[in-house]
Amino acid sequence: KRHKGSGVVVFSGAQEQALTRKHAIERALVSCDLEDEMYTVFQPIVELRSRRIVGFEALGRWANPQLGEISPMSFIPLAERTGQITAISRILLRKSLKALKDWPDDVYVSVNLSAHDIANSESIIRLLGVVNESGANPERIDFEITETAIVQDFEQAKTALNMLRNLGANVALDDFGTGYSSLSYIHRLPFNKIKVDRSFVAEIESSGSSFKIVKSLLMLCNDMGLKAIAEGVETADQLRVLRQLGCNKVQGYYFSRPMPAEDVLPFLDRFDAH
């Protein structure tokens, strides 16, 4: 479209539509009922040696009456800008731990945190409060944190991660291998798990370098006593290669897409029967 008179091309129709939706999402986020509309879906994490589901990753979802389902890829960055992310994280953590109550004791839940959640002790203390109020065993909770959440303030991140570990929870470095300093973080911070990013898994057969990277990452984790989980496994071939490399925990569409809380127990029953 052209601005009348200026003669300058501003936006294509598609770009304009995307922007309108983005603005609508932003407006809805600040006025919506977060408590009502935010919920989590759960994706199984499978242990290969025991052929068991050992945990589920909780992934945030937003269902808005006007806008429908909104992806975390769009609402999480917006919520980080508006400052609502810490409230959303607490709501999602509480709902995840409520779901966890119904699961077998040997199944854990893995919750994603944002940079803002670990940016000050105040927000960490409030998250610890949610865990305490839920009555959940902290040993059954993993917190996933990406490298971008750490680069902002290393010392603060270290304090926050120690608070989570002292509670008894596990802390996983998410999207491992995609950032610039993952290697230095894993030995300077109290992580006890890492999640190998799905971009490596996606290319594990087609790219010799991805294969070698995953192989080295798994060896490194093994040497350092860190548990590794490979993300984004979509095919039997990817699974076979990961198994050959000694990877013991995997997650991906090959086993299941994320599912609503009410599907978790039936899914566990069906999986056990195999």
Taking the CA atoms of the chain, what radius of gyration do you get in angstroms? 20
Let me know if 249 is exposed, middle or buried by CB neighbors in 10 A (0-12, 13-18, 19+): buried
CB of 185 to ligand C2E, least distance (A): 17
**Considering only residues 151-180, where is the footprint of ligand C2E by CB under 6 A?**
174-175
**Can residue 92 be called a binding residue for ligand C2E (CB under 6 A)?**
yes
Query: Distances from the Cα of 61 to the Cαs of 229, 251, 265, in angstroms?
Result: 23, 19, 20
How many chain residues bind ligand C2E (CB under 6 A)?
20
**Can residue 123 be called a binding residue for ligand C2E (CB under 6 A)?**
no
Contact letters for Ca ion, residues 141-180 (x by CB under 5 A): ---x-----------------------------xx-----
118 binds, among Ca ion, ligand C2E, none (CB under 5 to 8 A by kind): none
**Can residue 87 be called a binding residue for ligand C2E (CB under 6 A)?**
no
3-state helix, strand, coil in the chain (%, to 5): 50, 20, 30
Q: Judged by CB, which is closer to ligand C2E: 2, or 161?
A: 161
**Can residue 73 be called a binding residue for ligand C2E (CB under 6 A)?**
yes
Q: Judged by CB, which is closer to Ca ion: 28, or 93?
A: 93
Question: Cα–Cα distance between 72 and 38 in angstroms, integer?
Answer: 10
Per CB under 5 A, the list member of 64, 89, 96, 112 interacting with Ca ion is: 112
Mode of pairing for the β-strands spanning 38-47 and 259-260: antiparallel
Enumerate residues 6+ apart whose C-beta is below 8 A from 59. Answer: 40, 41, 42, 43, 72, 112, 258
CB of 10 to ligand C2E, least distance (A): 30
Pick from 150, 141, 245: nearest CA to 193: 141
| Residues linked to residue 112 through DSSP beta bridges, in sequence order | 144
User: Which residues lie near ligand C2E (CB under 6 A)?
Assistant: 43, 59-60, 71-73, 76, 92, 112-114, 174-175, 198, 232-234, 252-253, 258
